[in-house]
Amino acid sequence: MSQPTLPRRPAALLRNLLLAIATPILLGNAVSAASADKPAPAADAASAADAGKTKVRAELFKILTPAQAQVSAKQFKEALATLKGIDTVKDVTPVELALVRRMRAVAYVGNGDLELAEADMQQVIEDPQVSKDDRLQLERMMARTWYGKQPPERALQWAKRFLAEGGVDDVMHTIITQTLYKSGDCTATVEAVQAALAAAETAGIKPSEGRLQMLAACQQKLKDLTGQTATLEKLAVAYPNKDYWNRLISLVMRKDTFAEYAVLDGMRLRLAAGSLIDPEEYVDMAQLAYKVGYPEEARRVLEAGEKAGTLSADKAGVDYVKLRALVETQSAEDRKLLGQGDARAESAKNGVALFSTGYNYVSHQKFDVGLSMMERGIARGGLPHADLAQLELGMALVQANRPDDARKALEAVKGADGAADLAHLWLLSLQKRS
């Protein structure tokens, strides 16, 4: 389950960041220390007094400079020993103590002493003199440093604190969602993932596939069918593949309200989405199409399975071989008879024959005449499943490469027998093509 990746060496990043923060301060104070013995002009005596509160004295510099060099050389134990020299310095100022804590936290992280590093950084972060940007940087790096280590709550706390204080970093959302997911708390995970997706949407970032997968998995565990369906829809559109479409269509077809007479239309959508997987599925669909009077559609279904490398005599057995021969013969015969029943369909009182004759034309790729007859069949009425007919008109328009007309037809589909659900998924499939 992929998510935005975290740094491989967060401890190294923390050391680098802390050094980057500390170095300018140390260098700036080096200038102050170097000029500390020079008398200030009388007019600037007050300013000099204030500056004395913020500079690092030479005796502290003798501790911080070698400690910084040792940290840079990854000599962390030696750096910690060097920093103990502060115990011999009298009247350490808050600024000096803050710099020692920063440097010591770096050394603690490098030495693997995260608890001690956190204690020092907590003191630095809570210093009212620390800027918001500085504080957010330190909170972010503490979250990264704790991630993947025990206790996991530490990374969670730092990441949440960073975001609560207005920080913007997608990695913090990753730390939160992955930590909660690994804990098994699906309720909290759903809430966190939804927050992460909302933040990404606000930033104009494509939703993470890993987060959507995580959300769908938790919604499934929580038996939230509506939420799981909505998440799978996002996956199917943003990251179209056979598995997502198969799971999505299967959820719809497993609903208690899904009618048996709509199964063929569900399989038609699966075929269009490329989500028919097993040889038996292609054979079952072809048999259904043949039984309702569309041998050419049955032939095309089997042909699609063959082209996909799924259907063959070896894989599908005798039933497939017999069905293949039957639909080839019947399709050829049906092609010869096209048009002979048109007058009878046109004169019928209801639109059943007109519609089915039109769909048969469509199955033979004769879209103009077929679509016209289907539309007139719907308009005439008397169809046993009018919403399903409207759905099939939309599907036929998709096959005819008329997406705008297909959308209009599909948007008009109503009903609770599965037709409206399938129409919605067809509209989603058109969305991913646009």
Domain spans, the chain:
10-148, 276-337
* Residues in contact with 267: Cβ distance below 8 Å, sequence separation at least 6, in sequence order: 276, 281, 284, 285, 288
pLDDT in tens, the chain (434 residues): 555 455 445 455 555 555 544 544 454 444 344 444 444 444 443 444 444 556 788 999 999 999 999 999 999 999 999 999 999 999 999 889 999 999 999 999 999 999 999 999 999 999 988 899 999 999 998 999 999 898 999 999 999 999 999 999 999 999 999 999 999 999 999 999 999 999 999 999 999 999 999 999 999 999 999 999 999 999 999 999 999 999 999 999 999 999 999 999 999 999 999 999 899 999 999 999 999 999 999 999 999 999 999 998 887 778 889 999 999 999 999 999 999 999 999 999 999 999 999 999 999 999 999 999 999 999 999 999 999 999 999 999 999 999 999 999 999 999 889 999 999 999 999 986 65
> And the tokens for 198?
């909302």
Q: Which fold has domain 10-148?
A: 1.25.40
Contacts by residues 19-24 (CB-CB < 8 Å, ≥ 24 positions apart): 19/68, 19/71, 19/72, 19/106, 21/102, 21/134, 21/137, 21/138, 22/68, 22/99, 22/102, 22/103, 22/106, 23/68
Separation of alpha carbons 134 and 400, rounded Å: 60
Task: Give burial (CB, 10 Å; 0-12/13-18/19+) of 115.
Answer: exposed
By the 8 A CB rule, do 57 and 33 touch?
yes
User: Which residues, including other chains, have CB under 8 Å from residue 100's CB and lie 6 or more apart?
Assistant: 60, 63, 64, 83, 86, 92
Concatenating the DSSP letter of every residue in 177-189 gives HHHHHHHT-HHHH
For residues 56 and 96, the answer to whether their CB atoms sit within 8 Å is yes
Q: Which residue in the block uniquely carries the two structure tokens 């003798």?
A: 62
Instruction: State the virtual CA torsion across 404, 405, 411, 417 in degrees, nearest 10.
Output: -130
- Helices assigned H by DSSP within 203-312: 209-221, 225-238, 242-253, 263-273, 279-291, 295-307
Phi, psi dihedrals of residue 3, rounded to the nearest 5°: -135, 170
Burial category of 90 from C-beta neighbours within 10 Å (exposed 0-12, middle 13-18, buried 19 and up)? exposed
C-beta atoms surrounding 143 within 10 Å: 29
* Residue-wise burial string across 203-218, b where 16 or more C-beta atoms lie within 10 A, e elsewhere: eeeebbbbbbbbbbbb
